[in-house]
Amino acid sequence: MDFCDQLFDQSTSPVDQWARQNFEQCTFKNLDLSKVVFANTSFINCRFDYCNLSAALFEGTKLDDVVFVDCKLNSVNFGQCSAFGFHVDFQTCQLDYVSFFGRNLKKTRFVDCSLLEGRFINCDLSGALFKNCNLELTLFATNVLTQTDFSSSYNLTLDPDGNKLKKTKFSVHSLRGLLTKYDIVVS
């Protein structure tokens, strides 16, 4: 079924089945969608506000220009999403234990987010912004980090040799996290 330009919230009738649906220019507000299976669903130009999507399954799901604001997305594996047209942005979201594997995240915005123990592996994060994000124990491995901005984020640990860095922005406070593998003391 196709849904276009609709609002889904606690006052609307729930969708019977989320898998294999098409949503375009829809808004989702204050919904508990934790552990929902969105297999082969398509979200185009959609917005999620104050939703709980923790442990939701996005296998084969298309996320094209989808914005998440004040959402919980703990333990979501975005590496299972369709790579075609994948573009997401996050503002004030809880993204603890998320996984991004092989995703094109060029110019993706992570603003005021918690990314505790997240995983970014083999991603293109060129021009991405991590503004005021907690990156404690988040793994960055074999990524392209050209012009990625980490300058206002904190608790960053990153191996410069294990990622492609060029004009990547860091704060002086991140220096310790960039040198962790060398087991040296910075004071």
- Length of the chain as a residue count: 187
**What's the pTM?**
0.93
**Over 88-128, what HEC string results?**
EEEECCECCCCEEECCECCCCEEECCECCCCEEECCECCCC
Q: Within 10 A of 118 (CB to CB), how many other CB atoms are there?
A: 23
Per-run averaged pLDDT (10 residues), the chain, 187 residues: 91 84 97 95 98 97 98 98 96 98 97 98 98 97 97 94 94 72 68
The predicted pLDDT at position 186 comes to 66
pLDDT digits (tens, 9 = 90+) for 42-55: 999 999 999 999 99
> Would you kindly state where each structural domain of the chain is located, as residue ranges?
2-9+16-168
Its CATH class, for the domain covering 2-9+16-168, is mainly beta
pLDDT digits (tens, 9 = 90+) for 138-178: 999 999 999 999 999 999 999 999 999 999 999 877 767 77
